[in-house]
Chains A and B, each alone.
Chain A
Amino acid sequence: MKKEHLELERYKEEIYHCFRCGFCRELVLGGAYRICPIREELGFETTYARGRIGAARALLEGKIEYSDPLVERIYTCLGCYNCKAHCPTKVDTPSVVRGQRNEIYQQGLRKFKALEEIDSNIEVYKNPYGFGQKMRNQWAEGLDLPKKGELLYFPGCATAYDRPEIAQSLVKVLKRAGIEVAYLGEEEWCCGIPELWNGNLASAKLLMEENGRRFEAAGAKMILTSCPDCYNVFHHHLPQILGKQPFRVFHITEFLLNLLKEGRIGFQKEIKKRVTYHDPCRLGREAGIFEPPREILKRIPGIQLVEMKRNREHSWCCGGGGVVNLVYPKLSIKIAKDRVEEAKETGAEILVTCCPLCYRQFDNRLWEREMELQELIVLVAAVMGIES
């Protein structure tokens, strides 16, 4: 008997909008662009958008059912949005994949231990790492941040636990401009993005709604994020859940660029180096923020910004998205290494990004990178003469 696919039914229009042109496999136009990092590594039809959509359609039409190999394939999607960016009909394959993952989770077919740990950690500790909430607050010690205010900074788990220097730099830069941000501290929960991608949609919604309530309770009108994932959650996903957008949401790169333009912050030092910028998929293709980070870099005295061959909407993923870094870590790092090789080809001395997840993918703690790596906000603070 044909099984119901209630979640996939929501994406039926998307699924039937694919007419199999193959532009999501490659598009050679003014340069050779491969589109899907996973397809380039694994090579199968069902490891890139056209085949993923084909499988989703076959599920809807009752021609196949979820099997272990299919579940494994579905969890290889990075959600990098490169397929959608190059699709003539803009089929939203990442959303379809999230729908499939939600069905897989609901049917108890997900068999990845790493994802079960994420679920468990989030349920108990409200972050994917399983650290205590007190530790989330450590980066802000001594910064005297209020818990309430109209402009609220949401660093998110990856920044708070793994890259606290991003949050510290950001707050200090803003203080230099005379701007005070509020911070929820231990009241902040995970934004929900790991749950959204691992298939536990109910948990993701709970986290988003709860954070939304806490923002309101804090009197927040504007939410400032430094993590592209958190940005998209509050800018895009939360309004879908709430049916309204109660907050103005900014990514720090937009915010800082405005401060620079208004002359409220400026650079005291110079960096005489060639720099290349890696577009985080969530910030670039998903949120459409390509230029502000570049504009900031161009304003830093001495910096020569050089582009990688694949940049902006063509940018290659760091390999860390869509929980692929947790389920297939070797595959994930292989893609990160390819991206860094591309960065090296530019002759740049510094690779800059502004996403804690991308940073981690390129981090020396995981593999020997042989290239200087910088987080944009940390770099900005340094050239402003702010000590970390």
Chain B
Amino acid sequence: MCGAPIPLVDSSIMMDLTRMRRIVDLNEDSMSILVEAGITWTEVIEYLEKRGWELGLEGPWSAPSATVGGAIAVAAISMGAARYGGLGSQILGLEVILPDGEMIRTGAGANPANLMVARDCNGIDMAGLFIGSHGTLGVITEVALKIYPLHEMEDYFAFSFSDLNDAIEALHGLSKYRVPYDTRMFVHPVPEEIGGRAGIVFMLKGKKTEVLELSRFGLDLMRTAKGKEIPDFGKTYYQGRFTARAEAFGKAGPGWLEVAGFIPIKRYPEVAAPILDYFAVRKTEIERLGIKWSLGGLLETNAVNIPMALFCNESNSESWQRILDYLWELSDLMFSLGVSPYWIGHLNPYWKGKLGNFYQVYERIKKSLDPDGILNPGLL
């Protein structure tokens, strides 16, 4: 849902790959699928479903319109991250067009007779160079992804917590025992249907016996952590997962800015507290300007992503300018609390100076592959 179709600098050309949308190969023996980068996530999912297979990760919230290549380019946190982690975990190889027009295939794909087998081949993990690179180093044109037998059952749960620390204990338990397929936490706002100080929703997916066992185990974990089960909400939330968030963001804003990054699960409360304080002291201004904000958590295997989103009606220039100010201040706050950002984009100038030699090395790689700076100019 980042939807960044507008180039950062004037006189730029935007490349739209959505006509490169073929399923190139489905290889059930190697349990992999090769697709062109412009195909949407849900198109791949629906193609596989008819054949008894599925992807590990279902793509980002906007999977019905988000392309596979686009999501990989921004390392989008995807549905299923609690079980599988980042998008890179599902990628077997990439075909990439470099700025000089040269094409490379990463991993096993470097051998044309062995396209979709493994990513960690030939030494360096070349695919990793392009995952999350925001199109600065090359144009991803084909993607080989892992596939799995189609699940037999899904189940959904929602819990309310009167104390954030209890919710974090619950989240940690879910992570530690690898219970859910996907998990989300709400801190502000907590949906009315859930109520309390924090809410957790999670989704189970897999073989029927596995889901039944995990649901019993998950329920025990939640009850031990003093979670109160909220019937039906989890089902409603996850069954509408591909459209509900877009609708909610549209209603909240639709102007939207976000700073987000990873922290260890148990450190969540110490990051959340100053953020909550930050908004508490600005309550009057926030209400006057019609600004809304949300704070939550997305479980990605052993860590939690803490998305801090700000919303306002963008046509109100005062509100928009103010949430831009908030964004910088919150970036500063979150960085000082040890949050590691997972995107670049408009916050890049801020993070660059804070991350030691990370960006200097990145820029050296960029210079080597793209000496004229023609790909995604203005981003780095």
Residues of A within 8 A of B (CB): 12-13, 15-23, 25-32, 43-45, 50-51, 54, 88-89
Contacts and interface: CB of A to CB of B under 8 A. Distances in A.
Contacts of B253: 19
Given A16-B255, A22-B5, 20 more contacts: A12-B315, A13-B313, A16-B254, A16-B313, A16-B314, A19-B1, A21-B3, A21-B62, A21-B65, A22-B66, A23-B65, A25-B65, A28-B41, A28-B42, A28-B64, A28-B65, A32-B43, A32-B46, A44-B16, A45-B16
Q: Which of A19, A25, A26, A54 has the most B CB atoms < 10 Å from its CB? A: A19
Interface of B is mostly: loop
In order of increasing CB-CB distance, the 6 nearest A-B pairs are A20-B3, A89-B250, A16-B315, A19-B254, A88-B246, A22-B65
B246 A21 contact: yes
A29 B64 contact: yes
Nearest to B250: A89
B343 interface: no
B6 interface: yes
16 contacts: A12-B315, A15-B315, A20-B2, A20-B4, A20-B5, A21-B62, A22-B5, A22-B62, A23-B246, A26-B40, A27-B64, A28-B65, A29-B242, A32-B43, A51-B5, A54-B5
B111 interface: no
Interface of B: 1-6, 14, 16, 18-19, 40-43, 46, 62, 64-66, 242-243, 246-247, 249-251, 253-256, 313-315
B212 to A, nearest CB: 27
Contacts of B62: 21-23
A54 B4 CA distance: 11
A52 B314 CA distance: 17
A54 B6 CA distance: 8
A25 B18 contact: yes
A20 B1 CA distance: 7
A21 B65 CA distance: 8
A32 B63 CA distance: 12
Contact of B65 (A15, A17, A27, A31): A27
A45 B5 contact: yes
Nearest to A13: B315
A12 to B, nearest CB: 5
A15 B243 CA distance: 21
Contacts of B3: 19-22, 50
Nearest to A63: B10
Contacts of B64: 23, 26-29
A27 B64 CA distance: 5
A32 B66 CA distance: 13
Nearest to A29: B64
A25 B65 CA distance: 7
Contacts of B41: 28
B315 A29 contact: no
A99 B91 CA distance: 46
A15 B255 CA distance: 11
A29 B313 CA distance: 28
B250 A17 contact: yes
Given A13-B315, A28-B64, A88-B243, A19 B16 contact: no
Given A27-B65, A88-B247, A50 B255 contact: no
A26 B65 contact: yes
B19 A43 contact: yes
Contacts of B249: 19, 88
Nearest to A19: B254
Contacts of B1: 19-21
A99 to B, nearest CB: 15
A34 to B, nearest CB: 9
A20 B243 CA distance: 14
Q: Which of A23, A27, A54 has the most B CB atoms < 10 Å from its CB? A: A23
Nearest to B245: A88
Nearest to B4: A20
Contacts of B314: 16
Contact of B5 (A26, A30, A50, A89): A50
Contacts of A28: 40-43, 46, 64-65
A330 B46 CA distance: 34
Contacts of A54: 5-6
Contacts of B2: 20
